[in-house]
Structure 1
Amino acid sequence: MEFADVVQLTLIGISQGCAYALIAIGFVFIYRATEIVNFAHGELMMLGAFMVLTFSQILGLNFWVSAALGILSLGVFGFLLDAVVMRRMAGESQASIFILTVAIGLILRSLAGMIWGWSPLGLEVPFLVDFDVAGIVVGMDRIAVILGTAVLCVLLYLFFSRTAIGIAIQASSQNQLAAYYSRIPVKRLISIVWAIAAMVAAFAGLMMAPVTQVDTGMSAFGIKALAGAVVGGFGSIPGALLGCLLIGVAEPFLDFLFPPLKGVYAYAIMLVVLFVKPDGLIPQTFTKKV
Protein backbone atom coordinates (compact mmCIF):
# COMPACT_ATOMS: atom_id res chain seq x y z
CA MET A 1 0.00 0.00 0.00
CA GLU A 2 1.49 3.34 -1.08
CA PHE A 3 1.37 6.62 0.83
CA ALA A 4 -1.23 8.04 -1.58
CA ASP A 5 -3.47 5.04 -0.89
CA VAL A 6 -3.15 5.57 2.87
CA VAL A 7 -4.13 9.24 2.58
CA GLN A 8 -6.99 8.40 0.20
CA LEU A 9 -8.41 5.70 2.48
CA THR A 10 -7.99 7.93 5.54
CA LEU A 11 -9.97 10.72 3.89
CA ILE A 12 -12.71 8.28 2.91
CA GLY A 13 -12.72 6.83 6.43
CA ILE A 14 -12.96 10.19 8.20
CA SER A 15 -15.84 11.34 5.98
CA GLN A 16 -17.59 8.01 6.44
CA GLY A 17 -17.06 8.19 10.21
CA CYS A 18 -18.48 11.73 10.27
CA ALA A 19 -21.60 10.52 8.45
CA TYR A 20 -22.01 7.70 10.98
CA ALA A 21 -21.50 10.25 13.78
CA LEU A 22 -24.30 12.48 12.52
CA ILE A 23 -26.71 9.56 12.71
CA ALA A 24 -25.33 8.34 16.05
CA ILE A 25 -25.87 11.78 17.61
CA GLY A 26 -29.59 11.36 16.93
CA PHE A 27 -29.57 7.93 18.59
CA VAL A 28 -27.91 9.41 21.67
CA PHE A 29 -30.20 12.47 21.86
CA ILE A 30 -33.32 10.31 21.89
CA TYR A 31 -31.85 7.76 24.28
CA ARG A 32 -30.74 10.38 26.80
CA ALA A 33 -34.14 12.07 26.73
CA THR A 34 -36.37 8.98 26.75
CA GLU A 35 -34.20 5.84 27.22
CA ILE A 36 -35.56 4.66 23.85
CA VAL A 37 -33.28 3.29 21.14
CA ASN A 38 -34.92 4.37 17.88
CA PHE A 39 -34.15 1.57 15.42
CA ALA A 40 -35.93 3.57 12.69
CA HIS A 41 -33.34 6.34 12.81
CA GLY A 42 -31.55 5.14 9.68
CA GLU A 43 -34.84 5.36 7.82
CA LEU A 44 -35.21 8.99 8.95
CA MET A 45 -31.84 9.70 7.31
CA MET A 46 -33.04 7.99 4.13
CA LEU A 47 -36.34 9.91 4.18
CA GLY A 48 -34.48 13.21 4.60
CA ALA A 49 -32.37 12.52 1.51
CA PHE A 50 -35.49 11.68 -0.50
CA MET A 51 -37.22 14.87 0.66
CA VAL A 52 -34.28 17.05 -0.40
CA LEU A 53 -34.21 15.26 -3.76
CA THR A 54 -37.95 15.86 -4.17
CA PHE A 55 -37.73 19.59 -3.50
CA SER A 56 -34.58 20.00 -5.62
CA GLN A 57 -35.00 17.83 -8.70
CA ILE A 58 -38.71 17.02 -8.84
CA LEU A 59 -40.12 20.40 -7.82
CA GLY A 60 -37.15 22.28 -9.31
CA LEU A 61 -36.31 24.48 -6.33
CA ASN A 62 -32.89 25.94 -5.58
CA PHE A 63 -30.58 23.36 -3.93
CA TRP A 64 -30.05 25.31 -0.70
CA VAL A 65 -33.77 26.06 -0.37
CA SER A 66 -34.48 22.38 -1.01
CA ALA A 67 -31.94 21.36 1.64
CA ALA A 68 -33.55 23.67 4.22
CA LEU A 69 -37.08 22.51 3.38
CA GLY A 70 -36.06 18.84 3.42
CA ILE A 71 -34.40 19.14 6.83
CA LEU A 72 -37.29 21.17 8.28
CA SER A 73 -39.86 18.69 6.94
CA LEU A 74 -38.02 15.88 8.75
CA GLY A 75 -38.06 18.00 11.91
CA VAL A 76 -41.84 18.27 11.67
CA PHE A 77 -42.07 14.53 11.00
CA GLY A 78 -39.88 13.71 14.01
CA PHE A 79 -41.94 15.99 16.27
CA LEU A 80 -45.20 14.38 15.15
CA LEU A 81 -43.73 10.87 15.37
CA ASP A 82 -43.15 11.40 19.08
CA ALA A 83 -46.29 13.41 19.80
CA VAL A 84 -48.66 11.05 17.96
CA VAL A 85 -47.00 7.63 18.29
CA MET A 86 -44.10 7.31 20.72
CA ARG A 87 -45.67 9.34 23.55
CA ARG A 88 -48.45 6.78 23.80
CA MET A 89 -45.86 4.07 24.45
CA ALA A 90 -44.77 5.64 27.75
CA GLY A 91 -44.56 2.97 30.41
CA GLU A 92 -44.56 0.07 27.95
CA SER A 93 -41.85 -2.58 27.97
CA GLN A 94 -38.59 -2.07 26.09
CA ALA A 95 -39.46 -5.10 23.94
CA SER A 96 -42.68 -3.45 22.76
CA ILE A 97 -40.90 -0.19 21.96
CA PHE A 98 -38.14 -2.09 20.11
CA ILE A 99 -40.72 -3.89 17.96
CA LEU A 100 -42.55 -0.61 17.28
CA THR A 101 -39.44 1.28 16.13
CA VAL A 102 -38.37 -1.63 13.90
CA ALA A 103 -41.89 -1.71 12.41
CA ILE A 104 -41.81 2.06 11.80
CA GLY A 105 -38.49 1.66 10.00
CA LEU A 106 -39.84 -1.11 7.76
CA ILE A 107 -42.94 0.94 6.98
CA LEU A 108 -40.90 4.04 6.08
CA ARG A 109 -38.59 2.00 3.86
CA SER A 110 -41.53 0.39 2.05
CA LEU A 111 -43.31 3.72 1.59
CA ALA A 112 -40.12 5.29 0.22
CA GLY A 113 -39.77 2.46 -2.28
CA MET A 114 -43.39 2.81 -3.40
CA ILE A 115 -43.17 6.61 -3.75
CA TRP A 116 -39.68 7.13 -5.19
CA GLY A 117 -38.93 3.66 -6.55
CA TRP A 118 -36.31 1.09 -5.59
CA SER A 119 -33.57 2.18 -8.00
CA PRO A 120 -30.78 4.52 -6.78
CA LEU A 121 -31.29 8.18 -7.67
CA GLY A 122 -28.58 10.82 -8.02
CA LEU A 123 -28.82 14.09 -6.12
CA GLU A 124 -27.10 17.00 -7.87
CA VAL A 125 -25.18 19.14 -5.39
CA PRO A 126 -23.06 22.27 -5.98
CA PHE A 127 -20.00 20.73 -4.26
CA LEU A 128 -19.63 17.60 -6.42
CA VAL A 129 -16.09 18.39 -7.63
CA ASP A 130 -12.89 16.32 -7.44
CA PHE A 131 -9.34 17.65 -7.16
CA ASP A 132 -6.07 15.82 -7.83
CA VAL A 133 -3.44 16.81 -5.26
CA ALA A 134 -0.09 15.05 -5.79
CA GLY A 135 -1.80 11.93 -7.08
CA ILE A 136 -4.43 11.97 -4.32
CA VAL A 137 -8.01 12.45 -5.46
CA VAL A 138 -9.77 14.79 -3.05
CA GLY A 139 -13.54 14.78 -3.44
CA MET A 140 -15.33 17.92 -2.29
CA ASP A 141 -18.31 15.78 -1.35
CA ARG A 142 -16.09 14.03 1.23
CA ILE A 143 -14.70 17.35 2.48
CA ALA A 144 -18.25 18.70 2.74
CA VAL A 145 -19.25 15.80 5.01
CA ILE A 146 -16.31 16.48 7.35
CA LEU A 147 -16.83 20.25 7.48
CA GLY A 148 -20.60 19.88 7.78
CA THR A 149 -20.22 17.53 10.74
CA ALA A 150 -17.80 19.88 12.50
CA VAL A 151 -20.05 22.92 12.00
CA LEU A 152 -23.17 21.05 13.09
CA CYS A 153 -21.49 19.75 16.25
CA VAL A 154 -20.48 23.31 17.20
CA LEU A 155 -24.01 24.60 16.56
CA LEU A 156 -25.55 21.80 18.62
CA TYR A 157 -23.11 22.46 21.47
CA LEU A 158 -24.01 26.16 21.47
CA PHE A 159 -27.74 25.34 21.31
CA PHE A 160 -27.68 22.95 24.27
CA SER A 161 -25.33 25.04 26.40
CA ARG A 162 -26.34 28.64 25.63
CA THR A 163 -30.10 28.66 24.89
CA ALA A 164 -32.98 28.37 27.35
CA ILE A 165 -34.59 25.52 25.40
CA GLY A 166 -31.31 23.61 25.20
CA ILE A 167 -30.65 23.94 28.93
CA ALA A 168 -34.25 22.90 29.67
CA ILE A 169 -33.81 19.81 27.46
CA GLN A 170 -30.66 18.89 29.38
CA ALA A 171 -32.47 19.35 32.70
CA SER A 172 -35.42 17.19 31.65
CA SER A 173 -33.12 14.46 30.35
CA GLN A 174 -31.31 14.37 33.69
CA ASN A 175 -34.41 14.33 35.90
CA GLN A 176 -37.83 14.45 34.28
CA LEU A 177 -39.75 14.65 37.56
CA ALA A 178 -37.75 17.60 38.89
CA ALA A 179 -38.07 19.32 35.52
CA TYR A 180 -41.85 18.78 35.56
CA TYR A 181 -42.17 20.31 39.04
CA SER A 182 -40.07 23.23 37.82
CA ARG A 183 -42.80 23.88 35.23
CA ILE A 184 -40.69 22.72 32.31
CA PRO A 185 -42.94 21.27 29.54
CA VAL A 186 -41.20 17.88 29.51
CA LYS A 187 -43.44 16.21 26.91
CA ARG A 188 -43.06 19.05 24.45
CA LEU A 189 -39.30 19.14 24.95
CA ILE A 190 -39.03 15.41 24.28
CA SER A 191 -40.87 15.95 21.01
CA ILE A 192 -38.41 18.75 20.21
CA VAL A 193 -35.54 16.30 20.85
CA TRP A 194 -37.11 13.89 18.34
CA ALA A 195 -37.42 16.77 15.88
CA ILE A 196 -33.75 17.76 16.33
CA ALA A 197 -32.61 14.13 15.98
CA ALA A 198 -34.66 13.77 12.78
CA MET A 199 -33.22 16.99 11.33
CA VAL A 200 -29.66 15.87 12.12
CA ALA A 201 -30.44 12.53 10.42
CA ALA A 202 -31.80 14.39 7.38
CA PHE A 203 -28.62 16.47 7.28
CA ALA A 204 -26.60 13.23 7.31
CA GLY A 205 -28.69 11.94 4.41
CA LEU A 206 -28.08 15.16 2.49
CA MET A 207 -24.33 14.95 3.07
CA MET A 208 -24.07 11.29 2.07
CA ALA A 209 -26.42 11.45 -0.94
CA PRO A 210 -23.68 12.55 -3.42
CA VAL A 211 -21.41 9.74 -2.17
CA THR A 212 -23.85 6.82 -2.07
CA GLN A 213 -26.81 8.03 -4.20
CA VAL A 214 -30.31 8.14 -2.77
CA ASP A 215 -32.10 4.83 -2.31
CA THR A 216 -33.84 2.79 0.35
CA GLY A 217 -30.59 0.96 1.14
CA MET A 218 -29.21 4.15 2.72
CA SER A 219 -30.96 3.18 5.93
CA ALA A 220 -28.27 0.53 6.53
CA PHE A 221 -26.00 3.38 7.65
CA GLY A 222 -28.18 3.60 10.75
CA ILE A 223 -27.10 0.16 11.97
CA LYS A 224 -23.40 0.99 11.54
CA ALA A 225 -23.96 4.31 13.31
CA LEU A 226 -25.60 2.40 16.16
CA ALA A 227 -22.53 0.16 16.32
CA GLY A 228 -20.35 3.28 16.51
CA ALA A 229 -22.45 4.68 19.35
CA VAL A 230 -22.14 1.40 21.24
CA VAL A 231 -18.36 1.33 20.70
CA GLY A 232 -18.03 4.86 22.05
CA GLY A 233 -20.38 4.30 24.98
CA PHE A 234 -24.11 4.52 24.35
CA GLY A 235 -25.51 7.68 25.90
CA SER A 236 -22.24 9.61 25.55
CA ILE A 237 -22.11 12.13 22.70
CA PRO A 238 -18.27 12.40 22.68
CA GLY A 239 -18.19 8.61 22.81
CA ALA A 240 -20.52 8.34 19.82
CA LEU A 241 -18.29 10.69 17.82
CA LEU A 242 -15.15 8.76 18.77
CA GLY A 243 -16.69 5.34 18.13
CA CYS A 244 -18.06 6.33 14.73
CA LEU A 245 -14.76 7.86 13.64
CA LEU A 246 -12.93 4.73 14.78
CA ILE A 247 -15.21 2.49 12.72
CA GLY A 248 -15.27 4.89 9.78
CA VAL A 249 -11.48 5.06 9.52
CA ALA A 250 -10.93 1.33 10.15
CA GLU A 251 -13.47 0.11 7.58
CA PRO A 252 -11.75 1.26 4.34
CA PHE A 253 -8.38 -0.16 5.42
CA LEU A 254 -9.86 -3.49 6.53
CA ASP A 255 -11.95 -3.71 3.35
CA PHE A 256 -8.83 -3.04 1.27
CA LEU A 257 -6.66 -5.57 3.13
CA PHE A 258 -9.24 -8.36 3.41
CA PRO A 259 -12.22 -7.83 1.05
CA PRO A 260 -14.11 -11.11 1.80
CA LEU A 261 -15.43 -9.66 5.08
CA LYS A 262 -16.36 -6.29 3.58
CA GLY A 263 -19.42 -4.85 5.29
CA VAL A 264 -19.10 -6.66 8.63
CA TYR A 265 -16.03 -4.99 10.12
CA ALA A 266 -18.11 -2.38 11.99
CA TYR A 267 -19.86 -5.10 13.93
CA ALA A 268 -16.61 -7.03 14.48
CA ILE A 269 -15.05 -3.90 15.99
CA MET A 270 -18.11 -3.45 18.18
CA LEU A 271 -17.84 -7.02 19.49
CA VAL A 272 -14.12 -6.65 20.23
CA VAL A 273 -14.60 -3.35 22.09
CA LEU A 274 -17.54 -4.71 24.10
CA PHE A 275 -15.50 -7.78 25.03
CA VAL A 276 -12.64 -5.60 26.33
CA LYS A 277 -14.68 -2.67 27.67
CA PRO A 278 -18.43 -3.43 27.96
CA ASP A 279 -19.38 0.20 28.77
CA GLY A 280 -17.70 1.53 25.63
CA LEU A 281 -14.69 3.80 25.21
CA ILE A 282 -16.29 6.86 26.86
CA PRO A 283 -19.20 5.64 29.02
CA GLN A 284 -22.06 7.88 30.06
CA THR A 285 -20.81 10.14 32.83
CA PHE A 286 -24.03 10.75 34.75
CA THR A 287 -26.71 8.63 36.36
CA LYS A 288 -30.09 9.25 34.79
CA LYS A 289 -32.96 9.92 37.21
CA VAL A 290 -36.57 9.60 36.09
Structure 2
Amino acid sequence: METIQLLVSGLANGCIYGLIALGFVLIYKATEAVNFAQGDMMMLGAFLTLGFANSNFLGLPFLIAVPLAILSMGVIGYLIDIVIIRRLFGQSQVAIVIVTIALGFVMRFAAGNIFGFEPQTLESPLIGRDVTVGGIFLGLDELLVIIATIGLTVGFWLYFSNTKLGIAMQAASQNQLAAYYMGIPVKRVQSLIWAIAGMMAAVAGILYASKGSIDPNAGLLGIKAFAAAVIGGMGSLPGALLGGIIVGMIEPFASRYIPAGYSQVMPYLLLFLMLVFRPHGILAQVHRKKV
Protein backbone atom coordinates (compact mmCIF):
# COMPACT_ATOMS: atom_id res chain seq x y z
CA MET A 1 0.00 0.00 0.00
CA GLU A 2 2.87 2.38 0.75
CA THR A 3 4.32 1.75 -2.72
CA ILE A 4 1.00 2.61 -4.37
CA GLN A 5 0.72 5.79 -2.29
CA LEU A 6 4.22 6.80 -3.37
CA LEU A 7 3.26 6.12 -6.98
CA VAL A 8 0.18 8.35 -6.72
CA SER A 9 2.15 11.14 -5.06
CA GLY A 10 4.90 10.88 -7.66
CA LEU A 11 2.37 10.88 -10.49
CA ALA A 12 0.73 14.08 -9.21
CA ASN A 13 4.06 15.87 -8.77
CA GLY A 14 5.26 14.55 -12.11
CA CYS A 15 2.22 15.99 -13.84
CA ILE A 16 3.10 19.44 -12.45
CA TYR A 17 6.59 19.07 -13.92
CA GLY A 18 5.00 17.83 -17.12
CA LEU A 19 2.78 20.92 -17.38
CA ILE A 20 5.75 23.25 -16.96
CA ALA A 21 7.74 21.10 -19.40
CA LEU A 22 4.91 21.50 -21.92
CA GLY A 23 5.65 25.23 -21.91
CA PHE A 24 9.33 24.54 -22.59
CA VAL A 25 8.44 22.22 -25.46
CA LEU A 26 5.79 24.50 -26.98
CA ILE A 27 8.24 27.41 -27.25
CA TYR A 28 11.11 25.20 -28.42
CA LYS A 29 8.88 23.42 -30.94
CA ALA A 30 7.78 26.68 -32.54
CA THR A 31 10.84 28.91 -32.14
CA GLU A 32 13.77 26.63 -31.19
CA ALA A 33 14.31 28.91 -28.18
CA VAL A 34 14.57 27.69 -24.59
CA ASN A 35 12.64 29.80 -22.09
CA PHE A 36 14.34 29.35 -18.74
CA ALA A 37 11.79 31.70 -17.19
CA GLN A 38 9.01 29.15 -17.70
CA GLY A 39 9.13 28.00 -14.07
CA ASP A 40 8.99 31.60 -12.89
CA MET A 41 6.00 32.21 -15.16
CA MET A 42 4.35 29.31 -13.37
CA MET A 43 5.12 30.96 -10.05
CA LEU A 44 3.81 34.32 -11.28
CA GLY A 45 0.60 32.70 -12.53
CA ALA A 46 0.05 31.18 -9.09
CA PHE A 47 0.61 34.53 -7.38
CA LEU A 48 -1.73 36.32 -9.79
CA THR A 49 -4.44 33.79 -8.92
CA LEU A 50 -3.67 34.29 -5.24
CA GLY A 51 -3.93 38.05 -5.68
CA PHE A 52 -7.24 37.81 -7.50
CA ALA A 53 -8.81 35.16 -5.24
CA ASN A 54 -7.53 35.60 -1.68
CA SER A 55 -9.56 37.75 0.67
CA ASN A 56 -6.43 39.70 1.69
CA PHE A 57 -6.17 41.04 -1.87
CA LEU A 58 -9.00 41.44 -4.41
CA GLY A 59 -11.09 38.59 -3.03
CA LEU A 60 -12.73 37.62 -6.33
CA PRO A 61 -14.63 34.31 -6.59
CA PHE A 62 -12.24 31.45 -7.39
CA LEU A 63 -14.01 30.59 -10.66
CA ILE A 64 -13.46 34.17 -11.84
CA ALA A 65 -9.92 34.50 -10.50
CA VAL A 66 -8.67 31.38 -12.32
CA PRO A 67 -9.55 32.35 -15.92
CA LEU A 68 -8.52 35.95 -15.19
CA ALA A 69 -5.07 34.79 -14.07
CA ILE A 70 -4.72 32.48 -17.07
CA LEU A 71 -5.63 35.28 -19.50
CA SER A 72 -3.28 37.67 -17.70
CA MET A 73 -0.37 35.25 -18.09
CA GLY A 74 -1.27 34.86 -21.77
CA VAL A 75 -0.93 38.63 -22.18
CA ILE A 76 2.35 38.61 -20.25
CA GLY A 77 3.73 35.81 -22.44
CA TYR A 78 2.67 37.71 -25.57
CA LEU A 79 4.33 40.90 -24.32
CA ILE A 80 7.54 39.06 -23.42
CA ASP A 81 7.84 38.00 -27.04
CA ILE A 82 7.02 41.29 -28.77
CA VAL A 83 8.89 43.52 -26.29
CA ILE A 84 11.96 41.39 -25.45
CA ILE A 85 12.41 38.22 -27.51
CA ARG A 86 11.61 39.81 -30.87
CA ARG A 87 14.42 42.32 -30.34
CA LEU A 88 16.85 39.40 -30.16
CA PHE A 89 15.97 38.21 -33.65
CA GLY A 90 19.14 37.03 -35.36
CA GLN A 91 21.05 36.64 -32.11
CA SER A 92 22.38 33.32 -30.86
CA GLN A 93 20.30 30.97 -28.72
CA VAL A 94 22.71 31.68 -25.86
CA ALA A 95 21.52 35.30 -25.83
CA ILE A 96 17.89 34.19 -25.46
CA VAL A 97 18.84 31.77 -22.67
CA ILE A 98 20.64 34.52 -20.74
CA VAL A 99 17.75 36.96 -21.21
CA THR A 100 15.16 34.45 -20.00
CA ILE A 101 17.28 33.55 -16.96
CA ALA A 102 17.49 37.25 -16.12
CA LEU A 103 13.75 37.59 -16.70
CA GLY A 104 13.17 34.82 -14.18
CA PHE A 105 15.13 36.74 -11.54
CA VAL A 106 13.04 39.85 -12.27
CA MET A 107 9.79 37.89 -11.88
CA ARG A 108 10.92 36.42 -8.56
CA PHE A 109 11.94 39.83 -7.27
CA ALA A 110 8.68 41.44 -8.41
CA ALA A 111 6.51 38.68 -6.91
CA GLY A 112 8.40 38.86 -3.62
CA ASN A 113 8.04 42.62 -3.32
CA ILE A 114 4.34 42.60 -4.19
CA PHE A 115 3.13 39.49 -2.39
CA GLY A 116 5.95 38.88 0.09
CA PHE A 117 8.75 36.34 0.25
CA GLU A 118 7.06 34.11 2.85
CA PRO A 119 5.08 31.04 1.72
CA GLN A 120 1.40 31.78 1.13
CA THR A 121 -1.63 29.58 0.56
CA LEU A 122 -4.13 29.95 -2.25
CA GLU A 123 -7.73 29.98 -1.02
CA SER A 124 -8.82 27.17 -3.32
CA PRO A 125 -11.99 25.04 -3.00
CA LEU A 126 -9.81 22.02 -3.79
CA ILE A 127 -7.87 22.23 -0.52
CA GLY A 128 -8.87 19.65 2.06
CA ARG A 129 -11.06 17.59 -0.25
CA ASP A 130 -9.94 14.00 -0.53
CA VAL A 131 -11.14 10.78 -2.10
CA THR A 132 -10.23 7.22 -1.16
CA VAL A 133 -10.13 4.52 -3.82
CA GLY A 134 -9.39 0.98 -2.66
CA GLY A 135 -7.65 2.26 0.44
CA ILE A 136 -5.50 4.69 -1.57
CA PHE A 137 -5.60 8.24 -0.26
CA LEU A 138 -5.93 10.73 -3.13
CA GLY A 139 -6.47 14.46 -2.80
CA LEU A 140 -8.94 16.08 -5.17
CA ASP A 141 -6.22 18.55 -6.12
CA GLU A 142 -3.90 15.67 -7.11
CA LEU A 143 -6.65 14.05 -9.17
CA LEU A 144 -7.32 17.33 -10.99
CA VAL A 145 -3.60 17.77 -11.69
CA ILE A 146 -3.41 14.33 -13.32
CA ILE A 147 -6.57 14.80 -15.41
CA ALA A 148 -5.66 18.35 -16.52
CA THR A 149 -2.13 17.39 -17.52
CA ILE A 150 -3.17 14.39 -19.59
CA GLY A 151 -5.98 16.36 -21.24
CA LEU A 152 -3.77 19.32 -22.15
CA THR A 153 -0.98 17.09 -23.46
CA VAL A 154 -3.34 15.15 -25.73
CA GLY A 155 -5.08 18.34 -26.83
CA PHE A 156 -1.89 20.15 -27.82
CA TRP A 157 -0.49 17.06 -29.53
CA LEU A 158 -3.62 16.79 -31.67
CA TYR A 159 -3.55 20.54 -32.30
CA PHE A 160 0.03 20.53 -33.56
CA SER A 161 -0.57 17.44 -35.69
CA ASN A 162 -3.92 18.19 -37.30
CA THR A 163 -4.53 21.95 -37.56
CA LYS A 164 -3.20 24.45 -40.09
CA LEU A 165 -1.91 26.77 -37.38
CA GLY A 166 -0.21 23.89 -35.54
CA ILE A 167 1.55 22.78 -38.72
CA ALA A 168 2.45 26.41 -39.43
CA MET A 169 4.07 26.64 -36.00
CA GLN A 170 6.21 23.60 -36.71
CA ALA A 171 7.13 24.94 -40.15
CA ALA A 172 8.21 28.24 -38.61
CA SER A 173 10.51 26.41 -36.20
CA GLN A 174 12.17 24.39 -38.96
CA ASN A 175 12.89 27.26 -41.34
CA GLN A 176 11.61 30.73 -40.53
CA LEU A 177 12.59 32.26 -43.87
CA ALA A 178 10.94 29.51 -45.91
CA ALA A 179 7.82 29.71 -43.71
CA TYR A 180 7.70 33.47 -44.28
CA TYR A 181 7.91 33.02 -48.08
CA MET A 182 5.07 30.48 -47.86
CA GLY A 183 2.84 33.16 -46.37
CA ILE A 184 3.05 32.11 -42.71
CA PRO A 185 3.03 35.13 -40.34
CA VAL A 186 6.09 33.93 -38.44
CA LYS A 187 6.25 36.73 -35.87
CA ARG A 188 2.55 36.47 -35.06
CA VAL A 189 2.81 32.70 -34.72
CA GLN A 190 5.71 32.99 -32.30
CA SER A 191 3.92 35.59 -30.20
CA LEU A 192 0.89 33.31 -30.04
CA ILE A 193 3.07 30.44 -28.84
CA TRP A 194 4.53 32.58 -26.06
CA ALA A 195 1.00 33.55 -25.04
CA ILE A 196 -0.06 29.89 -24.94
CA ALA A 197 3.06 29.00 -22.93
CA GLY A 198 2.16 31.76 -20.47
CA MET A 199 -1.34 30.37 -20.05
CA MET A 200 0.08 26.86 -19.61
CA ALA A 201 2.38 28.21 -16.90
CA ALA A 202 -0.62 29.76 -15.15
CA VAL A 203 -2.50 26.45 -15.19
CA ALA A 204 0.53 24.69 -13.72
CA GLY A 205 0.90 27.41 -11.08
CA ILE A 206 -2.76 27.22 -10.05
CA LEU A 207 -2.62 23.45 -9.69
CA TYR A 208 0.69 23.62 -7.83
CA ALA A 209 -0.60 26.28 -5.43
CA SER A 210 -3.74 24.20 -4.82
CA LYS A 211 -1.51 21.40 -3.52
CA GLY A 212 0.26 23.55 -0.91
CA SER A 213 1.93 26.87 -0.25
CA ILE A 214 3.56 29.08 -2.86
CA ASP A 215 6.56 31.41 -2.60
CA PRO A 216 8.73 33.27 -5.17
CA ASN A 217 11.38 30.53 -5.15
CA ALA A 218 8.78 28.04 -6.45
CA GLY A 219 9.86 29.17 -9.90
CA LEU A 220 13.01 27.09 -9.45
CA LEU A 221 10.82 24.05 -10.18
CA GLY A 222 11.46 25.04 -13.77
CA ILE A 223 14.89 23.41 -13.48
CA LYS A 224 13.30 20.02 -12.81
CA ALA A 225 10.73 20.67 -15.53
CA PHE A 226 13.53 21.42 -18.00
CA ALA A 227 15.16 18.13 -17.01
CA ALA A 228 11.80 16.44 -17.64
CA ALA A 229 11.52 18.06 -21.09
CA VAL A 230 15.02 16.90 -22.06
CA ILE A 231 14.47 13.38 -20.72
CA GLY A 232 11.17 13.01 -22.57
CA GLY A 233 12.39 14.64 -25.78
CA MET A 234 12.64 18.41 -26.17
CA GLY A 235 10.49 18.52 -29.30
CA SER A 236 7.84 16.05 -28.14
CA LEU A 237 4.65 17.06 -26.31
CA PRO A 238 3.93 13.50 -25.05
CA GLY A 239 7.61 13.33 -24.15
CA ALA A 240 7.20 16.35 -21.86
CA LEU A 241 4.48 14.51 -19.94
CA LEU A 242 6.48 11.28 -19.88
CA GLY A 243 9.60 13.07 -18.66
CA GLY A 244 7.63 14.89 -15.97
CA ILE A 245 6.12 11.65 -14.72
CA ILE A 246 9.54 9.95 -14.66
CA VAL A 247 11.07 12.79 -12.63
CA GLY A 248 8.03 12.89 -10.36
CA MET A 249 8.19 9.15 -9.77
CA ILE A 250 11.89 9.20 -8.97
CA GLU A 251 11.56 11.79 -6.19
CA PRO A 252 9.31 10.01 -3.65
CA PHE A 253 11.04 6.65 -4.07
CA ALA A 254 14.48 8.25 -3.85
CA SER A 255 13.44 10.12 -0.70
CA ARG A 256 12.07 6.89 0.79
CA TYR A 257 14.89 4.47 -0.05
CA ILE A 258 18.01 6.61 -0.60
CA PRO A 259 19.85 8.66 2.07
CA ALA A 260 18.70 12.28 2.18
CA GLY A 261 22.00 13.65 0.92
CA TYR A 262 21.66 11.77 -2.37
CA SER A 263 17.94 11.57 -3.10
CA GLN A 264 17.65 15.09 -4.51
CA VAL A 265 20.39 14.37 -7.04
CA MET A 266 18.63 11.44 -8.70
CA PRO A 267 16.58 13.40 -11.30
CA TYR A 268 19.70 15.24 -12.42
CA LEU A 269 21.70 12.01 -12.51
CA LEU A 270 19.05 10.61 -14.85
CA LEU A 271 19.30 13.77 -16.95
CA PHE A 272 23.08 13.33 -17.15
CA LEU A 273 22.77 9.71 -18.25
CA MET A 274 20.12 10.65 -20.80
CA LEU A 275 22.33 13.36 -22.30
CA VAL A 276 25.20 10.90 -22.56
CA PHE A 277 23.39 7.88 -24.01
CA ARG A 278 20.26 9.35 -25.66
CA PRO A 279 20.72 13.11 -26.00
CA HIS A 280 17.50 13.65 -27.98
CA GLY A 281 15.31 12.13 -25.25
CA ILE A 282 13.07 9.09 -24.96
CA LEU A 283 10.51 10.24 -27.54
CA ALA A 284 13.02 12.00 -29.75
CA GLN A 285 11.74 14.01 -32.69
CA VAL A 286 14.81 14.90 -34.73
CA HIS A 287 14.31 16.62 -38.05
CA ARG A 288 16.83 17.59 -40.67
CA LYS A 289 16.65 21.18 -41.80
CA LYS A 290 16.77 22.00 -45.49
CA VAL A 291 19.26 24.69 -46.40
Structure 2 distance, partners of 1:171, 1:98, is: 22
Residue aligning to 1:252: 252
In structure 2, relative to structure 1, the CA distance for the partners of 1:288 and 1:110 (3 Å cut) is farther
Deviation string, structure 1 residues 228-282 (Cα, Å, up to 9, x no partner): 1111222222222222111111211111111332332211111122233222212
1:245 to 1:59, Cα distance in 2 relative to 1, 3 A: same
Structure 1 residues 133, 284: closer, same or farther in 2, change over 3 A?
Answer: closer
1:172 and 1:14 mapped to 2: Cα distance?
A: 34
Q: Which residue of 1 aligns with 2:144?
A: 144
- For 1:199, the equivalent position in structure 2 comes to 199
TM-score normalised to structure 2 length:
0.93
Aligned residue number for residue 275 of structure 1: 276
Q: Give matches, 1:203-222, under 5 Å.
A: 203-222=203-222
Q: Distance in 2 between matches of 1:254 and 1:228?
A: 16
Deviations 1:193-223 (A, max 9, x none): 0010111011001111122312112112110
Stretch deviating more after TM superposition (236-245 or 153-162): 153-162
User: Quick one: distance in 1 between partners of 2:192 and 2:224?
Assistant: 25
Distance 1:141 1:170 in 2: 33
Q: Distance in 2 between matches of 1:279 and 1:285?
A: 7
Match of 2:233 in 1: 233
Q: Which runs of structure 2 are paired with 1:87-102 in the superposition (5 Å)?
A: 87-102=86-101
Matched, 1:33 2:34: no
Deviation string, structure 1 residues 80-132 (Cα, Å, up to 9, x no partner): 10001100011112332222111111011011100000011111222221234
Amino acid paired to 1:15: A
Pairing 1:71-220 to 2, within 5 Å after superposition: 71-128=70-127, 129-220=129-220
- Aligned AA (1:17): G
Match of 1:16 in 2: 13
Q: Compare 92-101 and 141-150 and name the one that shifted more.
A: 92-101
What is the rounded CA distance, in whole Å, between the counterparts of 2:108 and 2:34 in structure 1?
Answer: 18
- Structure 1, gaps ≥5 residues long: none
The residue identity in structure 1 corresponding to 2:236 is S
Change in CA separation of 1:167 and 1:95 when aligned onto 2, cut-off 3 Å:
closer
For 1:65 and 1:288, how far apart are their aligned partners in 2? 44
Once the two structures are aligned, what percentage of the paired residues are identical? 48
Structure 1 residues 159 and 202: CA distance shift in structure 2, 3 A: same
Aligned CA RMSD, in angstroms, stands at 1.7
SS at match of 2:137: strand
Gaps of 5+ in 2: none
- Are 1:46 and 1:219, in contact at CA under 8 Å, matched by a contact in 2? yes
**Deviation for aligned residue 1:133:** 4.3
Distance 1:62 1:152 in 2: 24
Superposed displacement of residue 160, structure 1: 3.0
- Structure 1 Cα separation of the partners of residues 194 and 116 of structure 2: 27
